[in-house]
Amino acid sequence: MHARPGTPIRVAAVPAAHPYVTAVAPDDGSVVVLPDPVVDAAEPWRWWPPAVLDPAWIRAHAGEVDLIHVHFGMESLPEGRLGAALDAAEAAGIPVVHTVHDLENPQLDDQARHRRDLDAIVPRASALVTLTHDAAERILAAWGREATVLPHPTLLDAAPPRATPVGVPVVGTHLRDLRPSIAALPTVVALLDALAALRGEGISVRGRVLVNDRTRDPETVVAIADLVADRTDCALVQRPRPDDEALLDEIDALDVAWLPYGHGTHSGWVELCHDRGVQVVGPAWLPMAQQHPSDHHGFDDLADAASAVRAAVAAATRAGSDERIALVAGRMHARRVARKGVRDAHATLYREVMAQGSRR
């Protein structure tokens, strides 16, 4: 063990530079999150594949680290590296905490490798964290381990929404770069069907499909363009990947956000929408539906999504309205208080883990 009474706990977070990891890092002076080791001098900002999860790095730096907290990046390791890193941490007496963000990895189509990684780390971690009770129940069922539920905190300290009010509610879906978890074509088909169904009921709603100009699947973008081409009630917006400020502007301009996920677990997008007062339509079967259930209108099947869109539009504060601005202001105050609670809970967890020692 590397306990040093009266000194901060030195945490090697994987990765330290991720916005979520920064948001949950304790700020009471009891913890120091070490910077990410430089993986490549030519790209000093790049943290993957995570150098901390290398047995050689752990052995070389064992005297400088009290605890390792693994969040993201396991999929970028060579096969077998994670198990070897856990062996090295155990030999050095360094406890490992793992936050189970993803029971299904959004960056992968085939989940077999990710499941092997979870099978390696979940049973051996000194403590587990996850973001929803649904995920905790799935972890308990799969591995017999209890996970502490600590909700996703806000990542924002941003200005009020700047959107200009428009006459017709807008339902938008961000397809981003078409990573494996995004069911792009089925989502657009379902969105167009929902718009038509609502129009048949006399409800005017416009759709907006946003996608990066550089994607992993250009052919799918062409197919989506063909689907939308003859629709007057839906626009395809293809643009460079937006920076953080431009992304907030895009979210602020929506009344409802449609989550286009075919698989996954938790979602930072859900958090952004909650922070900006935007109602969400998305799969009811994924744990992310529990992140902010009062804002989430779930569907069990894409073919039946129109009712979820109808409910979300009815519940939405209009983009650019005084009501939306007031909602965001009040929500951000509550979210900053909650973020402090999550940071304090991490500090408590680290102290408990250090008192117990590494899991053997």
List per-residue pLDDT tens for the chain, 360 residues long: 455 677 999 999 999 999 999 999 999 999 999 999 999 999 999 999 999 999 999 999 999 999 999 999 999 999 999 999 999 999 999 999 999 999 999 999 999 999 999 999 999 999 999 999 999 999 999 999 999 999 999 999 988 898 888 889 999 999 999 999 999 999 999 999 999 999 999 999 999 999 999 999 999 999 999 999 999 999 999 999 999 999 999 999 999 999 999 999 999 999 999 999 999 999 999 999 999 999 999 999 999 999 999 999 999 999 999 999 999 999 999 999 999 999 999 999 999 999 997 544
Q: Indicate the burial class of 28 (C-beta count within 10 angstroms; 0-12, 13-18, 19 or more).
A: exposed
Task: Give per-residue burial for 287-315: e unless 16+ CB within 10 Å, then b.
Answer: bbbbbbeebbbbbeebeebbebbbebbee
Summary count for the chain: helices (H), strands (E)? 11, 12
**CA separation, residue 348 to residues 63, 146, 150, 160, 253 (Å):** 22, 17, 12, 33, 39
Instruction: Please give the pLDDT value at position 163.
Output: 86
C-alpha closest to that of 123 among 106, 103, 140: 140
Q: Which single residue is written with the structure tokens 């807008």?
A: 170
> Which domains can be identified in the chain, with CATH numbers?
9-153+337-356 (3.40.50.2000), 170-319 (3.40.50.2000)
Tell me: the pLDDT tens digits for 334-343?
999 999 999 9
51 has which bridge partners? Answer: none
- Cα–Cα distance, 281 to 310 (Å, whole number): 10
pTM for the model: 0.95
Tell me: the pLDDT tens digits for 114-127?
999 999 999 999 99
